[in-house]
A = this chain, B = another copy of it.
Amino acid sequence: MNDQTLVTDKWRAAYAARRLAEFTSRCRERGLAITPQRVAVMRVLVASGDHPRAETVFAKLRKEYPNISLATVHRTLETLCAIGEARKVTPLHDSARYDGNTAPHHHLVCVRCRKIRDIDVPEFNDLLHGRQSLGEFQLLGCAVEVQALCGECRRAANSGVRTPNSRGQTHNLKQRITREGETLWRKH
């Protein structure tokens, strides 16, 4: 883990050009219409090395498309994630989750119901190998989040219920999800 581990702007620029070139055909494959807004959101996102939030993408787009709606930006970003053209860096961002366990440990997270279990993998506790800094950054620690499907959700997924957070053309169906193990209903 040396300074080369920081991804460079140069790499990203070339990567962005390639991804953008493929984008319209990817939409066509998926049956998604190629609208100026959709392309623009993709272009701004893929050109950003800073993991922007919807507001930030919106702000950049407004200069070019003064009439674009923030809702469209939110929708489009979720669509891009759903078709695998983007990812959310913050899959657990919907509400803050607290932990009384201050011992060093890591987490196993069900991507569907967001159940979180503690795991203790000694190997994960020294991933930084005592390294104190990386470029301009002073390193403080690291957290491993293992994405998984819990038993309950695996069964549900197999029986054909769609996974949550996969926004698509059908926003109007209710889905059973569990949050922290409690069962509740949420619109999607």
Indicate if the CB atoms of B127 and A149 lie closer than 8 Å.
no
| A34–B145 CA distance with the chains assembled, in angstroms | 34
Shortest C-beta distance, A127 to chain B (Å), equals: 7
Residue of B nearest to A54 (CB): B96
| A94–B143 CA distance with the chains assembled, in angstroms | 18
Q: How many residues of A contact B (CB 8 A)?
A: 83
Chain B residues lying within 8 Å of A124, measured Cβ to Cβ, are: 127
Copies of this chain, whole number = 2
Tell me which residues from 85 to 136 in chain A have a Cβ below 8 Å from any Cβ of chain B. 85-90, 92-103, 105, 107-108, 110-111, 115-121, 123-124, 127-128, 134, 136
Indicate if the CB atoms of A146 and B128 lie closer than 8 Å.
yes
A-B contacts, 14 of them at CB < 8 A, read A5-B120, A7-B105, A51-B97, A85-B102, A89-B98, A90-B90, A93-B94, A93-B96, A110-B137, A117-B137, A136-B152, A136-B154, A140-B148, A144-B144
Given A145-B145, A149-B138, check contact A107 B85 (CB 8 Å): no
Chain B residues lying within 8 Å of A94, measured Cβ to Cβ, are: 93
Answer whether residue A175 sits at the interface, using C-beta atoms and an 8 A cutoff: no
Q: Which residues of A are in contact with B by a Cβ distance under 8 Å?
A: 1, 5-7, 12, 15-16, 19, 42, 45-57, 77, 80-81, 84-90, 92-103, 105, 107-108, 110-111, 115-121, 123-124, 127-128, 134, 136-152, 154, 179-182
The residue from B85, B110, B144, B151 contacting A142, defined by CB atoms under 8 A apart: B144
Residue of B nearest to A179 (CB): B53
